[in-house]
Amino acid sequence: MNSYKLTFEMVPEECWYSNLRSVLKPADWDIVRKDAYARAGGRCSICGRPARLEAHEKWSYDEERALQKLEGVIALCRSCHEVKHISRTYAMGRGVDAMEHFMRVNKCSQMDFHAALERANEEYLRRNRVEGWVTDISWLETKFNIKLR
Ligand SMILES: [Zn+2]
């Protein structure tokens, strides 16, 4: 459905685990974060530009099984990260910057941006109708042998 390089990621309201740094010990979060930075080699993993990097958690959502699964942690520049969390970014008054970055990275028009945002909002509403999301963070356990505190 979406072949853009830079996409929005819609986290259902119920999925409070989506913020790994709040459930991991600080030392464990550091390990995960620094691994992502090391892999990125100083460049944003999506747009490729050299930047100060932020760690972004990639989750997948299986609506039929109500399963939220951690797929990995990647290093992103602030602009790509702000596109990922577009609702929060709009709330912070940075929506226009995020839109311009989305259009630049995906080489698309403002209309394309709005269409993609509309699809993402539909996805968000659909995911919010699912109850009892279960979180799978086995990626952390497999890769780093980290358990939740
Ligand atoms: Zn970027």
What is the per-residue pLDDT across 114-140, written as a single tens digit (0 to 9) for each?
A: 999 999 999 999 999 999 999 899 999
Note the pLDDT of residue 21.
Answer: 80
Whole-number Å distance, alpha carbon 27 to ligand 1 midpoint, is 26
Whole-number Å distance, alpha carbon 129 to ligand 1 midpoint, is 31
Whole-number Å distance, alpha carbon 17 to ligand 1 midpoint, is 24
> Residues of 10-41 as b/e, b for ≥16 C-beta within 10 angstroms?
bbbeebebbebeeebeeebbeebbebbbeebe
Whole-number Å distance, alpha carbon 39 to ligand 1 midpoint, is 15
